Amino acid sequence: MKLELGHFYVKDIVFGSETRFADGVLTINKEEALEMVREDERITEADLVIVKPGDMVRIVPVKEAIEPRFRVGGGPVFPGVTGDLMQAGNGRTLALKNMSVLAVGKHWGGFQDGLIDMGGEGAKYSYFSQLMNVCLVADTNEVLEQREQQKKNRALRWAGMKLAEYLGKTVADQTPEEVETFELAPVTKRTDGENKLPKVVMVLQPQSQMEELGYNDLVYGWDANRMLPTFMHPNEVLDGCIISGSFMPCSSKWATYDFQNYPMIKRLYQEHGKTINFLGVIMSNLNVALEQKERAMLFVASMAKNLGADAAVVAEEGYGNPDADYTGCLVALEKAGIKTVGLSNECTGRDGASQPLVSMDALATAMVSTGNVSELIQLPPMPVVIGELESLARDGLSGGWDNDAILGASVREDGSIIMENNAMFCGDQIVGWSTKTMVEY
């Protein structure tokens, strides 16, 4: 399977009379784009706002991030979701780099939504402050969800994907500035040199805990809660076969943008044929019942062993209940004789003194932490707010609160905020490009 990702580097984004990309500038016909968004009758209000790194802007509630792309030769960017089902990971896909489309609620937030500061002290907490972002700020008629803690955010998420495809079409007939090629031969047809190297598999545990459909990550449009662990080509992940769900506390979330650019997968690709033989991806899931968790662990360990894996990297989207799936998978792989490294954040409490993972085991000896979800963050007022700042305190964002006996409300009268890292949009970047570093005391 061979995937070519053609890169177009966006240097600026502006509004204009025609939607096009030329000389590094993405021009958007705002009314035309919004007319397309409003074709979904669930969208009651919508606006587009452009923000850039360094802008003194706070965005909340952020629900999703997507990289604009175009699939050469036809077909949807997200097979089984925005169009017919087809194989992802082959051929050529064009991408607008240095930017994303952000789906932002005009009013209502929820447990799974987050915050981004584009400038100031808060910018360091989210990767997306480094990008130019086209914010789709919208409200919907999904009234039943407005005051619910858990929201499917379906209308806004789908509108964001539709807008990303609309913008991606601007480069349909152009030659990319750079082409990134990803190619792996079938596992049984590797070269002698590759076969002599340590065989490594990547195990992904995307969020799939909700038994009710509509909240979980989708794989080719299929709810990941209904999956059993499945062996997949890494190109499929990089080429739109997975979209993000709307369940996970936000700092632990993997946005669709993250799947499209998964840094850890790219890092394993870089070492393939040099220091490792990268076998591919085992797509697992996160379950609720213990029996379901144990079944998934057995599938993952058996699959990795029969692929001949010597080592594995396991990444968990989430914390808390999913920790049992995560550490259980690490232990099952170690018991199968496969050396395993885990990637996750941790929940050590606001004082950093609590047990970092719900489930611990002596066999889990190699884990990389991407930060504490409960760390308190205080930020000064921001001159401009996109969305609705009150949602952070009012609507049950996982790191916000409407009142605390000691700390007060997350949103103060002067517009300054106090919150847990939990509410920072994709703040822990478990996928592999965290901006955080370790400090030794």
Q: What is the pTM of this model?
A: 0.96
Q: Does the residue 276 lie in any domain?
A: yes
Query: Per residue in 228-245, pLDDT tens?
Result: 999 999 999 999 999 999
How far from the centroid of its chain's Cα atoms is residue 156's Cα? 16
Say whether pLDDT at 225 is over 80.
Answer: yes
Q: Are 392 and 365 in contact (CB under 8 A)?
A: no
Q: Does the residue 437 lie in any domain?
A: no
Q: Are 19 and 106 in contact (CB under 8 A)?
A: no
Q: Does the residue 179 lie in any domain?
A: yes
Query: Which amino acid, one-letter code, is at 283?
Result: M
CB atoms within 10 A of CB 107: 17
Residue 386 pairs in a beta bridge with: 59
Query: Per residue in 156-165, pLDDT tens?
Result: 999 999 999 9
Q: Does the residue 430 lie in any domain?
A: no
Percent of the chain with pLDDT over 90: 90
Query: Per residue in 382-439, pLDDT tens?
Result: 999 999 999 999 998 999 999 999 999 999 999 999 999 999 999 999 998 877 777 7
Q: Does the residue 440 lie in any domain?
A: no
Q: Does the residue 171 lie in any domain?
A: yes
What's the pLDDT score for residue 137? 98
SS3 of 413, please?
Answer: coil
Q: Does the residue 313 lie in any domain?
A: yes
Residue 115 pairs in a beta bridge with: 424
- How many separate domains does the chain show? 1
Domain of 353 in residue numbering reads as 2-423
Q: Does the residue 365 lie in any domain?
A: yes
Those residues whose C-beta lies under 8 Å from the C-beta of residue 30, and which sit 6 or more positions away, are 15, 48
In 3-state terms, the chain is what percent helix, strand and coil (to 5)? 25, 30, 45
What's the pLDDT score for residue 23? 97
Task: Output the CA torsion sign for 297, 301, 307, 312.
Answer: positive
